[in-house]
Each structure stands twice: as structure tokens, then as C-alpha cells.
Structure 1
Amino acid sequence: MKNYNNDNTARRYLAHVSQIGTTQFHLRNPYIVAWWSMAFPGFGHLLLSKYLRGMALFLWEMVINLNAHINVGIVYSFLGEFDKAKEVLDTRWLMLYLPTYFFGIWDSYRTTIDMNKVTLLAKRENHRINSFVISPLEINYLDRRKPFTAMVWSFLMPGMGQLYLHRIVTASFILIWMIVITYFSHLAEGMNYIFMGELGQATVVFDKEWLLFLPSIYGFAMYDAYSNAVENNKLYIWDQRNYLKSAYQKYKLEIKRSRLTK
């Protein structure tokens, strides 16, 4: 029987299906990736499946931000209390923040452009990929998913949309940090007071320094789940089309001209 799977003979592949997820090349807008790196360092690289670099920048952001009290300064700036914002910021940590912050934006933009070039070359080579993986721990395969469903699950709990798409690395990373941020921000306690109508008590309970991380986490989880569901569906259609062509379209269709047309 003919083998239609990845045989490691191509120079470039569009995707790789493994136990922990489906990693793929596809065209991205470098400005959008750079914007996510601007919103939260590391998110742009996670969009590109550059997990180690993205996680390193994410952890750097958490450590420097909390020690420099950047989020507290942002809260005071929103309230118009600029003097308090200046007092709360720790300049010793703040000076370490800016160079790496701008590096994350620049590097994600540069990497996106390079990966777009690789995507075009891989599409021209059009080599088959492995579409099914089974192991004692996990099963992963290409299939169609609903982008809206993935986004809704990420809205209900960041990381669930990634689990729906079998993006185990991103899902685990988001879920772990969602638990940490929820705990230190006292989100559950504050929401409990809000449901009871005690808004004043809720504002006292919330830790604003940790709470300000949540909008970025929620927004990224929803965007990542939706966009990856769309691209996974495109990859599934491309793989099915190539398989059907190679397996069943074996002969060229020859149409003989009629005598009347001679």
C-alpha cells in the first residue's frame, strides 16, 4: 500500500502533527503579531508557536512588572493621579523593562516576516504531512473545528479553547497562569461581592496590580483560539485535497474530439 504520510524527504513542511499539538506555518500579519507583543510581551511569539521564547518573555514581563509596580502606576495614571504614579514606580526595575519590551515587539515582527517567506516556499514544495498521531498518552489528528466555539470556550475560561484545538502547550501555560493571576488578584472573592451587590467591598478586595493582567490574558486566549481554529481548518482542507488527488486522480482525463469538430 502506498504511503501518503510525511517521509522526511522535503526541505520544508507546512505543518507537523504531534502528541502535544499541531504546529503549522501560515501567512500572518506582522503588525498584528507585533501588536500582541506590545500588549503583553511573549504573546506575539506564542502566536508563532515559538513557545520557549514566548514563555521566557512572558515570565520576564511578570517579574519585572510586579517589581517595578508598572500596573499600579497605570491605574494611578488612569485616575489622573500622576504624582502617585511617579512615587510608586521603582526606577531600578523600570530601566530593565524598556529594552527587552521593545526587543519582543521587534523580534516578533521580524520573525513573522521570515516565517511568511518560509510559508510561501513550503506551499510551493507542497509536500505531504503526517495528519494522524497515536501514542499511549495522546491522540491527535487533523479535523475541522468551529472557530466560534473555540473562542467562546476561551472566553469562559482562558485555555479551554486551546484544549479544544489540541494545543496542549499553550493551553497548559495559559491555564496555569490564569489560576495564579486569579488567586493573587482575588478575582473570585471580588466577583462574589459584585453578585451580592456590594460593589464597594469588591473594589477593596481586588488586587489591582494582578487584576490588570486579566484583560490581556482573556483577549489573547480568545484571539489565539479563533485564529488557530480557522488556520487548522484550512490545513485540514489542504491535506484532504492533496490526499484525494494523489490517491484517486491517477490518470489525466483525455477527451477525444468529435469528427464533427475536425
Structure 2
Amino acid sequence: MEKIPSTKNARRPLVHVSTLATNHLHLRNPWVTLWLSALFPGFGQIFLGSYIKGFLLIIWEIVINVEAKINLAILYSFTGQLDLLGGTVNARWLLLYSSVFVYALWDSYRSTIDLNKFTILAQRARSAVVPFKIDSFEINYLDKRNPWIAAAWSVFMPGLGHLYTHRLPTGFFVLIWWIAITYFSHLMEGVHYSAIGAFDQVKTIVDPQWLLFMPSIYCFSIYDSYVNAVEYNKLFEYEQARFLSSQYQSQAFKKPV
């Protein structure tokens, strides 16, 4: 009779499969996580699977950035319009930004190093994996997914690649924020006026304060969904190998050195 795997009493579980997402440990480059946090505070934490902390940091970044007009200040700095900086930036909000921004960088780098250690220990302990989860509302299971399809869906609309890899919290969170930023930046109107050649209208209607959020979200969505698909495929192979070894491999089998 097949023994049902369980992660309940595991000291260091490798993965937790729920109907909402598959949250698991795998080796990550701390500098990549640091870069994601620099790109947008909170992205590094989401990349590590720390959803609540990541979502709160993203909300903090958007609120403080909009109130302090940081994106406008960046735009004016890079375009040489330094005379506009003084009347644009709100110092009451700007001074709240630096401490949490530095914390997001430090926390993502530190957490990556710690989780990499736990990943190695969990793999050596051959931690159990539950490959299928079902309840009244949703179904989640481990299978092979194409990383390029995940990236392609993220190109079409950020968040869809995460839905393809069944990271529902990240997918819907990114999707909702992308729609909100698209609305407040007037991007669709800008695309319309660009298509008909009315470029002067584009300059007047598009809001750069909101528009400059988009490159960060776009890059993160593509990269994170691609990496998740790759790592889920590795996890699928790990679970299959563990199952076959425990169920069909003879205990007397001598493993090659």
C-alpha cells in the first residue's frame, strides 16, 4: 500500500503545495534578489515566496512614490530638467522613502542566503513532496510547464505568466496593479494617439509618474514567471525520482559511487 507523503512534521520542508500556490525552496542568487528589490521594493520578497511582506512593500512603494513624486524627479533628472525638481518633489514624503528602501534590499539579500542553506539541507534530507492538492474551490498539481510560454503570457499581460504557473496570489496581485497603473498613466490613450500619429496629444495625456512604474513590473513579471516554471519542472522531476526510488527500488540495490 502506497504511503502518502507528508510535510507536516518535516523540520525543513522543501515545498508546500496548496490550492492557491506552490511555495518551495530552491537555490537563488542573492544578487539577483537584491536587484529585484532595487527594481521595485517587494519584488525580491515575492521572488522568495514571502508574499505578505512583498505585497505590503509594493503598496508602500507605490503610495510613497506617488505622493513624493519620485518618478517625476527621476524623469526630470535624466532629461536634464533640473530646474523642475525643486517644485516637483514633496519632501514630507520623500524622507520616508530611504529607510524602507534600504531595508527591502538588505532583507531580500539576507533571506536569500538563509533560504539557500535551508534548501540544501531539505534536499539532503529528501524532504517529502505532496504533488497534488484539491479542495472545493481550486486544484493545484505538479507537472511540466514550458518556461517560454510563462514568459510569453507575461509579455502579453503581466500576471498571466504567474497564473500559468499557478502562483495565484502573485498573479492576481500583479494583474490588478498593472490594470490600475495602466488606467492612471493613460497608457491606452497614449497608444491610441500614437497609432494615429497624434504625438502632441500623447505628451499631454500620458502621466509619466505612473508610466514609469511599468518597466519594473514588466521585467519582474517576465523573469519571475520564467524562473518559476523552470524550478517547478525541477521539482516535478525531484518528486518523481523520490517516488520511484521509494516504491520500486530494491533496498538491496547498491548505488554506484
TM-score between both structures, scaled by the size of structure 1: 0.94
CA–CA distance in structure 1, aligned partners of residues 155 and 253 of structure 2: 50
Residue 251 and residue 124 in structure 1: after superposition, are their counterparts in 2 closer, same or farther (change >3 A)? Answer: closer
1:190 is matched with: 190
Q: Are the aligned partners of 2:7 and 2:127 in contact in 1 as well (CA < 8 Å)? A: no
1:130 is matched with: 130
CA–CA distance in structure 1, aligned partners of residues 197 and 54 of structure 2: 39
Specify every segment of 5 or more residues in structure 1 that has no aligned partner in the other structure, as ranges: 255-262
Q: Are the aligned partners of 1:150 and 1:164 in contact in 2 as well (CA < 8 Å)? A: yes
Aligned to 1:60, the other structure's residue is in SS state: helix
Aligned pairs for 1:1-262 (under 5 A) are 1-6=1-6, 8-253=8-253
Two-structure CA RMSD over aligned residues (Å): 1.2
Deviation at 1:251, TM superposition (A): 4.1
Aligned to 2:235, the other structure's residue is in SS state: helix
- Identical positions, percent: 48
Deviates more, 1:133-142 or 1:199-208: 199-208
CA–CA distance in structure 2, aligned partners of residues 117 and 71 of structure 1: 37
Deviation at 1:218, TM superposition (A): 0.5
CA–CA distance in structure 1, aligned partners of residues 95 and 154 of structure 2: 34
Q: Are the aligned partners of 2:7 and 2:13 in contact in 1 as well (CA < 8 Å)? A: no
Per-residue CA deviation, residues 156-210 of structure 1 (Å, 9 max, x unaligned), is 0000000000000000100110111011000111111111122221222111100
CA–CA distance in structure 1, aligned partners of residues 39 and 136 of structure 2: 39
TM-score between both structures, scaled by the size of structure 2: 0.96
Deviation at 1:127, TM superposition (A): 2.0
Residue 69 and residue 113 in structure 1: after superposition, are their counterparts in 2 closer, same or farther (change >3 A)? Answer: same
Q: Which amino acid counterpart does residue 188 of structure 1 have in structure 2?
A: M
Aligned to 1:16, the other structure's residue is in SS state: strand
Aligned residues between the structures: 254
Q: Are the aligned partners of 1:65 and 1:71 in contact in 2 as well (CA < 8 Å)? A: yes
Residue 180 and residue 125 in structure 1: after superposition, are their counterparts in 2 closer, same or farther (change >3 A)? Answer: same
Q: Which amino acid counterpart does residue 110 of structure 2 have in structure 1?
A: R
Larger radius of gyration: 1
Specify every segment of 5 or more residues in structure 2 that has no aligned partner in the other structure, as ranges: none
1:260 is matched with: none
CA–CA distance in structure 2, aligned partners of residues 7 and 162 of structure 1: 24
Deviation at 1:253, TM superposition (A): 4.4
Residue 7 and residue 178 in structure 1: after superposition, are their counterparts in 2 closer, same or farther (change >3 A)? Answer: closer
CA–CA distance in structure 2, aligned partners of residues 191 and 183 of structure 1: 12
